[in-house]
Amino acid sequence: MKKTFLLVAIAIFGLSASTNAQEYWNFGIKGGANFTNMSSDGFEDNNSRTGFHLGLLAEIPVSDRFSIQPEALYSTQGFEVETSNYTDEYKLDYIQVPLIAKIYLIDGLAVEAGPSFNFLVNEEYEYESGLLDIENDSELASSFEFGGALGLSYKFNNGFFLSGRYTKGFTNVYDSDDFDDDAIKNNGFQVGLGLQF
* DSSP per-residue letters across 73-88: EEEEEEEEEE-SSEEE
Q: Tell me the average pLDDT of the chain.
A: 86
Pairing of strands 47-61, 26-39: antiparallel
Percentage of the residues of the chain whose pLDDT score is greater than 70: 81
Sign of CA dihedral 128, 133, 137, 139: negative
Q: List, for residues 28-42, the tens digit of each pLDDT value.
A: 999 999 999 988 766
Q: List, for residues 50-61, the tens digit of each pLDDT value.
A: 999 999 999 999
Q: Per-residue pLDDT tens, the chain, 197 aa: give them.
A: 555 554 555 555 554 444 444 457 899 999 999 999 988 766 655 678 999 999 999 999 999 999 999 999 999 999 887 776 778 889 999 999 999 999 999 999 999 999 999 999 999 988 888 777 788 788 889 999 999 999 999 999 999 999 999 999 999 998 765 555 678 899 999 999 999 99
Taking the C-alpha atoms of residue 188 and residue 167, their distance in angstroms, rounded to an integer, is 5
Q: List, for residues 74-93, the tens digit of each pLDDT value.
A: 999 998 877 767 788 899 99
Query: Which residue, 144, 138, 145, is CA-closest to 123?
Result: 138
pTM: 0.83
| Predicted pLDDT of residue 158 | 95
Residue-number span of the structural domain to which 167 is assigned: 2-196
Q: 65 in helix, strand or coil?
A: coil
Domain count, the chain: 1
| CATH classification of the domain holding 97 | 2.40.160.20
